[in-house]
């Protein structure tokens, strides 16, 4: 596997080696040792989620309270999505910035995002299937969102699907009602760089 840190610190693009023959192909989707070497800490898998989305569907920007927040290891096992990581850590030098990775069933890359970061994606093909490995289980009371079309955040969403047909963002009712980044900061919903650092430092000292 090849690991590349994104412009948002704490987020990585992971590109696996694929081994194919006339029967199909094989790849290692996750490997604990190389992951910890590249990222700097282990990944504690506590829950795995799967979503299937029509072309144009946008999910996110989602994040969770720190502690414990929720780190994610994200793969698109079928179809294609534009995956987006957003730095929501107040006090971070890159606060409010975002980066993207194309996840699809061709290169079969994955994205890892650490605690305190926001996650979203747009489906570029009908029935795009995304698998999320999560460091904590779902807890509605501590999970939040930022409106993915926030003009100040200014994420550049695709306007065409993988087959070239036009698409427009399709949001859930919950994501439609999500606050802007500025509103979430004013409301005290966002994690701080200090809290994230303290949490990760505590995790590193665990046996």
Q: What is the DSSP letter of 142?
A: G
- The Cα–Cα gap between 34 and 15 comes to 12
Measured CA to CA, the distance from residue 102 to residue 106 in angstroms comes to 10
Q: The sheet that has 11-15: what strands, in order across it? A: 2-5, 11-15, 110-113, 72-78, 128-134, 47-53
Query: Which residues, in sequence order, are CB contacts of 30 under 8 Å at separation 6+?
Result: 43, 73, 110, 133
User: Active-site residue numbers?
Assistant: 62, 132
Distances (CA, A) of 149 to 21, 63, 86, 178, 184: 42, 16, 13, 10, 14
**8 A C-beta contact, residue 25 and residue 18:** yes
- Phi and psi for 161 in degrees, rounded to 5? -75, 180
Element (DSSP H or E) covering residue 201: helix 193-204
Query: Which pairing describes strands 58-64 and 117-123: parallel, antiparallel, or unpaired?
Result: antiparallel
């Amino acid at each position: 596997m090849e690991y590349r840190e994104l412009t948002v610190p704490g987020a990585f693009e992971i590109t696996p080696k694929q081994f194919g023959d006339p029967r199909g192909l094989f790849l290692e989707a996750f490997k604990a040792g190389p992951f910890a070497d590249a990222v700097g800490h282990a990944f504690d898998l506590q829950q795995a989620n799967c979503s299937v989305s029509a072309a144009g569907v946008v999910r996110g920007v989602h994040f969770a309270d720190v502690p414990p927040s929720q780190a994610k290891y994200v793969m698109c096992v079928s179809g294609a999505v534009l995956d987006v990581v957003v730095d929501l850590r107040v006090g971070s030098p890159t606060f409010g910035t975002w980066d993207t990775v194309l996840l699809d069933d061709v290169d079969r890359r994955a994205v890892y995002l650490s605690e305190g970061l926001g996650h979203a994606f747009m489906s570029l093909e009908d029935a795009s299937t995304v698998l999320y490995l999560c460091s904590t289980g779902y807890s509605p009371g501590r999970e939040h969102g930022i409106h993915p079309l926030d003009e100040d955040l200014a994420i550049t969403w695709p306007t065409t699907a993988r087959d070239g047909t036009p698409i427009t963002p399709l949001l859930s009712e919950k994501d439609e009602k999500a606050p802007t980044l500025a509103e979430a900061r004013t409301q005290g919903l966002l994690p701080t760089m200090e809290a994230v650092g303290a949490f990760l430092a505590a995790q590193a000292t665990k046996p």
